[in-house]
Amino acid sequence: MFNASDLRKGLKIEIDGQPYTITEFEFCKPGKGTALYRCRVKNLINGSTMERTYRPVDKIGKPDLEERELMYSYQDGDTFVFSDNETFEELRIGRDKLGDKAYFLIENAECKVLLFNGQPIDITLPVFIEKKVVYTEPGARGDTATNVMKPAKIDNGYELNVPLFINEGDMIKIDTRTGLYAERVNKA
């Protein structure tokens, strides 16, 4: 259990059996009264947020969270298989839990998987991945503007916007945190 005085921004706590992270934290002590710890918390599984206020006597649950470094191995239907480099243990994560991140998995990429009570709830991928553009309308020659975008598709079907100067066959860098185009790696 955590004491209220342990609370701070970024701390992960458990409320009603769900894991949360503290996104905003404020210490207050109104009118010569007791200290209060006001927190805005975000559910680590569904992303919902709420406010909670704790007193100095409160005990706050510590979630059973484990972060494991795993390597992405292969796709098996709608399941993605990761393996532990040391124990060779396999962990399978369904597409529903990965969302768009499923598009950014590259074989042998080192990923950080967050487990709550042994179940995967979040995954952190390498920040940038490189992918080939398989489809986009040709851009005007010599147009190097970066603020005008057009749609493009990468080899696994993921669609994103890229600058006009990107052509089919170009390798681009994608930011896995946002799913947005980052830069061109090389021309086709």
Residues found near another protein in the complex (CB under 8 A): 5, 25-36, 38, 53, 55, 57
Residue 180 CB, nearest distance to another protein (Å)?
29
* Encoded amino acid at 92, one letter: R
Is the Cβ of residue 8 or residue 187 nearer to another protein in the bound state?
A: 8
Categorise residue 165: left if φ over 0, alpha if ψ from -120 to 50, beta otherwise. alpha
Residue 101 CB, nearest distance to another protein (Å)?
34
Residue 73 CB, nearest distance to another protein (Å)?
42
Residue 127 CB, nearest distance to another protein (Å)?
24
Residue 13 CB, nearest distance to another protein (Å)?
18
Residues 6+ positions from 125 with CB-CB distance below 8 Å: 101, 104, 105, 109, 111, 176
Is the Cβ of residue 55 or residue 112 nearer to another protein in the bound state?
A: 55
Is the Cβ of residue 30 or residue 47 nearer to another protein in the bound state?
A: 30
Is the Cβ of residue 17 or residue 30 nearer to another protein in the bound state?
A: 30
Beta carbons of 158 and 132 less than 8 angstroms apart: no
Distance CA 129, CA 122 (A): 18
Is the Cβ of residue 38 or residue 184 nearer to another protein in the bound state?
A: 38
Residues 6+ positions from 25 with CB-CB distance below 8 Å: 7, 8, 9, 37, 38, 39, 40
The residue assigned the tokens 């021309």 is 187
